[in-house]
A and B are shown apart, each in its own frame.
Chain A
Amino acid sequence: MNDAAMNYRDQTAPVRERFAKLHARPVVLAVESIGRRFEGESGPVVAIDSVSFEAHRRELICLIGASGCGKSTLIRILAGLDEPTSGRMLLDGQETRGPGRDRGMVFQGYTLFPWRTVSENVMFGLEIAGTAKSLAEEEAQHWIELVGLTRFADAYPHQLSGGMKQRVAIARALANRPRILLMDEPFGALDAQTRAQMQAYLLQIWRQVEVTIVFVTHDLEEAVHLADRIVVMGANPGRVLEIIEVPVPRPRSSAQFEDPLFVATKRHLEHLIHGERAAPIDMLPHIRLTTVGDDVE
């Protein structure tokens, strides 16, 4: 095995070409030295110091980092649900603040409206924008079809599984035709198998829809599997450690999890995120409460 020799910077020619094309596309989202301070009891706490990155049209960016690095705060700021204390964000070159229909969001918790059916949930954004009901219904139908839930169009959220709920949430956000789809650990509450399925669905949806995705996760494999580029964040204070171009070619599949480039990228992420924390894992004190021999190991 020459995994160790592989470097995540070793891009094959087609991948390099793809990134060149990607960077040539216009910038949809520009995050310019955004910072967020909270007033704590013992003085101000800096959650995010100064974060900058750009997302190009139809790029899929993952934000990753250890807990407490402010990645959730950052995506809430991007959604307009939180205000930055410094810096600004530009959407298509225009400064934006506050929530808006140009930035859709999928949350980790299930946020479908329980009193609305699947199709009524997907119609919400259109209805609010004043689209005629028949038109909104027709639109909703397309998006429900896209996420493969046509059979459940008239079901209520409590009748759906967790994965199905998140698919509806994606359809609901996309129905507004946002410039950016923000996803805050959307598959974090799902079991491993459903999560893998959802990742495949997301990649497929992303290919078929004109949308730029910013995806927050703490799962390294998920990030490498999904992203064009990964924004790696460090904690105390939250800041960008490195922005990585994922060298794994597209289309992605779960078979690539063994790919040397995939492994090398993942290892580098591990090093960045966990290597930063120098302290070794603490062991518990050695107290023996059984007289039986050491037959478990």
Chain B
Amino acid sequence: MARTTDWLAVRKELPGQRAAVLAVLSFVLPVLLWSFISYVPFVWHPNVKITQPGSVDYFQTDMLVENAVFAQENQRAAAEGRAPAAGYPANPIYLPPPHAVVRALYTGFTTPPRLPSEPWLHQSLWHSLQVIGWGFFLSSLFGVPIGILSGTFAFFSKLQEPFLEFFRYLPAPAFGALAVAVLGIYDAPKIAIIFIGTFFQQVLVVANTTRKLDVSLLEAAQTLGASRAQLLFKVVVPGIVVDLYTDMRILLGWAWTYLIVAELVGTTSGITYFINQQARYRNYENVYAAIMLIGIIGLGSDLVLAFIGGRLFPWRPEARRSNLGRLLRFFASPRARPPVGEAAT
């Protein structure tokens, strides 16, 4: 029994309850650290928030002043017999406390934009989702079939993969100016950036996944009389669909990482516009809230896709596990990145 109490067993799965505890802790610990820095007055707090300007003429209520400046001014005031300023220790404006960010997550949706021409937060988000959606859809529309062909036929693999291996090193944002020149300043160049960022990886990842299909399944099908087209559609495609689904989840995550850069191309739009505007107004809790929303949507959509994936493929050995078990495994197991490098040989 001694072994089961070991939290640090090498390469052993933790029992469900422990995995759950750690999964929750992985979120709680960073928040605790943040709270610790935000709410414990003597930790960091390099600024003073003025409550009473006193006799210092440039101090204003709610102004943030560096500790040294505050002390200096009060010293001078005391020496000259003037009224001192009052305030409490505060963190810089760019580190709002957790409760302010949580509040902003709600008020962000209820507060109308400052200018009537500006979009609401939900409009910004929806715009971002559309850009991602179109970019990923167009990329998959071409990337998946090309990847499957490439993984199935050496002809296609040799014809395109060396070039793709070269092209995938070109950073997608580098094409920003070009995309604007060709596609204008609105959504098209943004979608193009996401397409460029996703497509080349996608072809290589899908080709690699296709190549991992057990050759003996293809041979078995051949001895049963399958033609080339039947091998492709009756063996290759159903044979890789589970791994393909996982690849698509990971690739969708990559598409998200190109979102901010894409939205800066041409006229800034979507969630990036919201973040930039709020930073300009120095509403940093809104900035944090918006950044968190991206994370929440990303993780949330991945969870939903993982859940759907569990029901979609009843033939997998894991398909019968409970939903809770699947959720735990989702958090407890490291997400395998497809080994793109392996494709290049």
Interface residues of A (CB under 8 A from B): 79-81, 99-101, 103-105, 107, 109, 111, 113-117, 124-125, 127-129, 156-158, 169, 172-173, 176, 182
Interface residues of B (CB under 8 A from A): 214, 216-217, 219-227, 230, 234-235, 238-239, 241, 313-317
Can you offer 15 A-B residue contacts whose CB atoms are under 8 A?
A79-B219, A100-B223, A101-B223, A105-B220, A105-B223, A107-B216, A111-B219, A111-B220, A113-B217, A114-B315, A115-B238, A124-B234, A125-B224, A158-B317, A176-B224
Residue among B222, B234, B316 with max Cβ neighbours from chain A (10 Å): B222
Residue among B224, B226, B238 with max Cβ neighbours from chain A (10 Å): B224
Q: How far is the CB of A74 from chain B (nearest CB, A)?
A: 15
A116 to B330, CA, bound (A): 26
Q: List the B side residues contacting A173 at CB < 8 Å.
A: 223-224
A176 to B220, CA, bound (A): 13
Q: Can you name the residue of chain B whose Cβ is closest to the Cβ of A102?
A: B225
A129 to B221, CA, bound (A): 12
Contacts between chains A and B (CB distance < 8 A), count? 76
Q: How far is the CB of A155 from chain B (nearest CB, A)?
A: 10
A100 to B227, CA, bound (A): 9
Q: How far is the CB of A54 from chain B (nearest CB, A)?
A: 21
Residues B219 and A129 in contact, CB atoms below 8 Å apart:
no
Q: Give chain B's interface secondary structure class.
A: helix
Q: Can you name the residue of chain A whose Cβ is closest to the Cβ of B235?
A: A113
Residues A156 and B315 in contact, CB atoms below 8 Å apart:
yes
A176 to B221, CA, bound (A): 12
Residues A80 and B315 in contact, CB atoms below 8 Å apart:
no
Q: How far is the CB of A284 from chain B (nearest CB, A)?
A: 33
Q: List the B side residues contacting A113 at CB < 8 Å.
A: 217, 220-221, 235, 238-239
Q: List the B side residues contacting A124 at CB < 8 Å.
A: 221, 224, 234
Q: Can you name the residue of chain A whose Cβ is closest to the Cβ of B225?
A: A101
Q: List the A side residues contacting B225 at CB < 8 Å.
A: 99-101, 125, 128-129, 176
Q: Can you name the residue of chain A whose Cβ is closest to the Cβ of B314?
A: A156
A173 to B239, CA, bound (A): 19
A1 to B238, CA, bound (A): 60
A224 to B226, CA, bound (A): 34
A107 to B225, CA, bound (A): 15
Q: How far is the CB of B96 from chain A (nearest CB, A)?
A: 50
A116 to B313, CA, bound (A): 11
A116 to B235, CA, bound (A): 10
Report the 4 A-B pairs with minimum CB-CB distance, sorted nearest first. Answer: A101-B225, A111-B220, A105-B223, A125-B224
A80 to B223, CA, bound (A): 8
Q: Are A158 and B315 also in contact (CB < 8 A) when A109-B216, A113-B217, A128-B234 are?
A: yes
Q: Can you name the residue of chain A whose Cβ is closest to the Cβ of B238?
A: A115
* 15 more A-B residue pairs beyond the given contacts A107-B220, A113-B220, A128-B225, with a C-beta to C-beta distance below 8 A: A81-B223, A100-B223, A101-B225, A109-B216, A111-B216, A111-B217, A114-B316, A115-B238, A115-B313, A124-B224, A125-B224, A128-B230, A156-B315, A173-B224, A176-B224
A114 to B327, CA, bound (A): 24
Residue among A105, A124, A172 with max Cβ neighbours from chain B (10 Å): A124
Q: Which residue of A80, A156, A172 contacts B222 across the interface (Cβ within 8 Å)? A: A80
A80 to B221, CA, bound (A): 12
Q: Can you name the residue of chain A whose Cβ is closest to the Cβ of B230?
A: A128
Residues A104 and B223 in contact, CB atoms below 8 Å apart:
yes
A114 to B216, CA, bound (A): 12
Q: How far is the CB of A175 from chain B (nearest CB, A)?
A: 9
